Structure 1
Amino acid sequence: MSRPVDERALRAVPTLPKVVLHDHLDGGLRPQTVLDLAAEAGHVLPAQTADELGRWFEQAASSGTLVRYLETFDHTTAVMQTADALRRVAREAALDLAADGVVYAEQRYAPEQHLAGGLSLDEVVVAVQEGFAEGEREAAQRGTPIRTGTLLTAMRHADRGVEIAELTLRHYGSASGGAVVGFDIAGAEDGFPPTRQQEAFDLLHAHGVPVTIHAGEAAGVDSVHGAVHACSAQRVGHGVRLLEDVEGTGPEAVPGRLAAWVRDRRIPLELCPSSNVQTGAATSVAEHGIGALRDLGVVVTVNTDNRLMSATSMSREMELLVREAGWTLDDLEAATVAAARGAFLPHAQRELLVEEVVRPGFAAARA
């Protein structure tokens, strides 16, 4: 029996403080920005107006497979090959997230995909950080402060993992906006296990740099196993297919060894409901595994993945969970606190985020 819709939660969503840990920089461009930058770069797009282009991205990404979903990024990365373009995209990402109530965001991108215009890997990182710093300053002036952190991503099908890990070490913890806070691998998951980048993970662990790994989206529990055991990930990107290691449903659900390990070690899952439906990792938001994993005691967080491709925002993801999955204000708060505590920030800063921003914001919504 489905839970009734929590109308109070729906009314509160636009004003709630939000924390997003899984949001791709090259998946969150404004459609008009794609048009503008494509015109400058001479890149041909499949649509010529912002509205048409936005619809094209969403429809093309809703193919039901991760491979087709990833093809849409050919257009966004193509227009992000100069320092000016990268600064603009990062600045606008910070402003758009802040306008949606996001108070802390971790943005991920693969520097190796932005070299066609002649930039070096380090120049890519500097341009993105400058853009986020600009966006943070503007957001604060508008009364919607946001803090951003960036995750440098290596493409799992390529062989540049160690090089991107070294890049991460060079920029880790820099003081400017958009400071590099960790490392990630992304791209085609099936057939490219995280252990292919084992040397990169070993290097980062040796220097105390946190990592998250895309796993359990297009590939199953073996991918999650490799991420958390062989590669010692502090978080798992997506991870919805961890449910394949759970026997039974509801109160009778029993976790297998891997699911129990993820639960008991409090390894957060960066779940992305709308995106998972688009790629076929979930049949609907109502049937998404985020609720079952939460009920099992796994640490779950709510994320957007790619705001352009899913035509979504943190507010929309929360509203869908309330309307279709029966989530309450308490559920939203628990997931937001989990995200804040799972952020790749120093412990004291995470607790300040929880106690001075997240909890007061939810308390105000209840009042």
Structure 2
Amino acid sequence: MTASPTDSRNDVRPDVRPDTDTVRRLPKAVLHDHLDGGLRPATLVELAAAVGHTLPTTDPDALAAWYYEAANSGDLVCYIATFEHTLAVMQTREGLLRTAEEYVLDLAADGVVYGEVRYAPELMLDGGLTLPEVVETVQEGLAAGMAKAADAGTPVRVGTLLCGMRMFDRSREIADLAVAFRDAGVVGFDIAGAEDGFPPADHLDAFAHLRAENVPFTIHAGEAHGLPSIHQALQVCGAQRIGHGVRITDDIVDGKLGRVAEWIRDRRIALEMCPTSNLQTGAATSIADHPITRLRDLGFRVTLNTDNRLVSGTTMTREMSLLVEEAGWTLGDLRTVTVNALKSAFIPFDERNALIRDVVLPGYDLATR
């Protein structure tokens, strides 16, 4: 019998707790990462000077530290407010091209072999670009980054998720964009923004259109708001994945799963979990006690993500290393969440399967020899 691409490999010891150097070499996959939350500090300084935007500081290291500290508020709304400065420099073709290209190169440097980047085109119109021009420009920048990464011997595939902002009323327009650009690198859709008070059901027209056009979508839910937001995202809106979803633990008592938790686990609905970000927004209390470990042990399809690399001062290597150091994760656990992410990626099955079989599993072999 032929082994499946996700079978354990005899030459990888899954019980090993890898050091940071080993983690850095591991192939990685990230499903939940915001373009406007991942700029390089030095790039932000240069682009801000070019457009005349005032930053808290023009020293790149100090700016990185300011972002990290400002985001550690324990409140999602305050966390989101830090995006004022990154969005200010992403209103022009030049700013979007550079940030998109560098985004890909930073993923490649972190060992990411597949990534999905999300952003809200409606927040990038102040410089005179139209919605389609924003998407076209970002796709051009991502393509340039992928070409450079491939030439450097660190290929990475990046798909795009277009976000509608849940507090505004343009989600149907953004859904139309996702449909229009689905053959040009856009792989799905998301609803983002302040969660509490802005239920995903307010955007049913967008979700119905996406389902009719066979475009997959994820929804931010269960981060700042509780179990009802997850239920609504799944059963009312039809999400195929859940962004964050940490509050699903509200439906698990003494190890017994409630109806919503059972639905998510049994139907292999991926949870896009972001430990460091969740600490900053108050959705979790520590890495050691983050729900991702408990949910992994209960058989949920958890995935590991960065959310916002600048705002959270993180990388996939850091997120993995924190779980190893503070939650006792092993090489096998890291491989599992990587495979989980690829299983739930918004790209065709054969392409997901090939990445698991030909890139991730052999990459784990090589990184641990």
The normalised TM-score by structure 1 is 0.95
Paired position in structure 2 for 1:254? 256
CA distance in 2: counterparts of 1:365 and 1:31, whole angstroms: 30
When the two chains are superposed, the root-mean-square deviation of aligned CA atoms in Å is 1.0
Paired position in structure 2 for 1:263? 265
CA distance in 2: counterparts of 1:268 and 1:103, whole angstroms: 19
Give 1:296 shift: 1.2
CA distance in 2: counterparts of 1:8 and 1:205, whole angstroms: 41
Is the contact made by 2:108 and 2:156 (CA closer than 8 Å) also made in structure 1?
yes
Paired position in structure 1 for 2:147? 137
Question: Aligned to 2:206, what secondary structure does the other structure show?
Answer: helix
CA distance in 1: counterparts of 2:102 and 2:366, whole angstroms: 28
Paired position in structure 1 for 2:333? 331
User: Which runs of structure 2 are paired with 1:150-189 in the superposition (5 Å)?
Assistant: 150-174=160-184, 179-189=185-195
Residues 44 and 11 (structure 1), Cα distance of their counterparts in 2 relative to 1, 3 Å cut: closer
Letter in 1 for 2:245: G
Question: Aligned to 2:350, what secondary structure does the other structure show?
Answer: helix
Give 1:10 shift: 3.9
Is the contact made by 1:6 and 1:326 (CA closer than 8 Å) also made in structure 2?
no
CA distance in 1: counterparts of 2:106 and 2:120, whole angstroms: 21
Cα-to-partner distance string for 1:195-239 (whole Å, 9 max, x where unaligned): 011110000000100000000100011111011111111110000
Letter in 1 for 2:83: F
Paired position in structure 2 for 1:341? 343
Give 1:7 shift: 4.1
Give 1:9 shift: 5.0
Count of residue pairs brought into register by the alignment: 355
Cα-to-partner distance string for 1:286-341 (whole Å, 9 max, x where unaligned): 11000111111110000000000111000000000000010000000000000011
Question: Aligned to 2:58, what secondary structure does the other structure show?
Answer: coil
Which of 224, 234, 239 matches 2:230?
224
Letter in 2 for 1:275: S
Paired position in structure 2 for 1:38? 48
Give 1:6 shift: 4.7
Which of 99, 109, 112 matches 1:102?
112
The normalised TM-score by structure 2 is 0.95
CA distance in 2: counterparts of 1:10 and 1:165, whole angstroms: 40
CA distance in 2: counterparts of 1:295 and 1:246, whole angstroms: 13
Paired position in structure 2 for 1:278? 280
Which of 10, 22, 47 matches 1:12?
22
Paired position in structure 2 for 1:288? 290
Is the contact made by 1:6 and 1:322 (CA closer than 8 Å) also made in structure 2?
no
Which of 309, 315, 318 matches 1:313?
315
5+ residue gaps, structure 1, are none
Paired position in structure 2 for 1:215? 221
CA distance in 2: counterparts of 1:162 and 1:197, whole angstroms: 8
Matched, 1:59 2:65: no
Paired position in structure 2 for 1:124? 134
Paired position in structure 2 for 1:195? 201
Is the contact made by 2:38 and 2:311 (CA closer than 8 Å) also made in structure 1?
yes
CA distance in 2: counterparts of 1:362 and 1:260, whole angstroms: 31
Cα-to-partner distance string for 1:57-84 (whole Å, 9 max, x where unaligned): 1100010000000000011101100011
Paired position in structure 1 for 2:103? 93
Paired position in structure 2 for 1:242? 248
Is the contact made by 1:17 and 1:358 (CA closer than 8 Å) also made in structure 2?
yes
5+ residue gaps, structure 2, are 1-14
CA distance in 1: counterparts of 2:121 and 2:63, whole angstroms: 25
Cα-to-partner distance string for 1:63-111 (whole Å, 9 max, x where unaligned): 0000000000011101100011101000000000101100011000000
Paired position in structure 2 for 1:47? 57
